């Protein structure tokens, strides 16, 4: 049973990181409709600020290709930090061949979500990543 913080189970708190506003808003809208707590930021640098200290997120949905700091760079920094080393991070990308998906997993991502997203796919990947029964 999940420990609750207000009305949102603690295992359902997501940070969405994407430089494209429409992608962020779509993911957040789907998550909130499904009862998840979701916040969004537009860059890798903002993600690192949001994830510093006692961040409270259970999973990060992280765009791979962003200007400035890429999702892969952000993931590497998160994995090197003891506070975020085990935080589940899902690669979120529009382009990924099978060998690229394997490469993302090898570089520390827990799963890969291909855009455009759907409700079913997003929920399936989040639930599997966090070990939540749907």
CA 99/CA 77 separation, integer angstroms: 23
Global pTM reads 0.89
CATH number assigned to the domain comprising residue 77: 3.40.50.2300
pLDDT averaged over the chain?
A: 89
In a domain, 134, yes or no: no
Residue 3 lies in a domain: no
Residue range 53-92, pLDDT digits in tens: 778 899 999 999 999 999 999 999 999 999 999 999 999 9
Residue ranges making up the domain that contains 50: 8-128
Beta bridge partners of 62: 17, 91
1 lies in a domain?
Answer: no
Q: Which residue, among 44, 43, 14, has the nearest Cα to 30 in the 3D structure?
A: 14
Does the pLDDT at position 11 exceed 80? no
pLDDT tens digits along 96-108: 777 788 889 999 9
Classify residue 133: in a domain, yes or no. Answer: no
Answer whether residue 38 is part of any domain. yes
State the total domains in the chain: 1
Residue 59 lies in a domain: yes
Q: Is residue 2 part of a domain?
A: no
């Amino acid at each position: 049973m999940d420990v609750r913080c207000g009305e949102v189970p603690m295992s359902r708190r997501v940070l969405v990181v994407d430089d494209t506003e429409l992608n962020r808003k779509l993911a957040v809208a789907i998550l909130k409709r499904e009862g998840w707590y979701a916040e969004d930021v537009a860059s890798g640098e903002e993600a690192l600020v949001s994830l510093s200290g006692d961040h409270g997120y259970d999973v990060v949905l992280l765009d791979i290709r962003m200007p400035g700091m890429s999702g892969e760079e952000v993931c590497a920094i998160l994995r090197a930090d003891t506070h975020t080393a085990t935080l589940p991070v899902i690669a979120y990308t529009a382009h990924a061949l099978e060998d690229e998906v394997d490469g993302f997993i090898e570089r520390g991502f827990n799963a890969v979500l291909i855009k455009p997203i759907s409700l079913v796919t997003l929920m399936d990947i989040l639930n599997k990543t966090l070990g939540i029964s749907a």
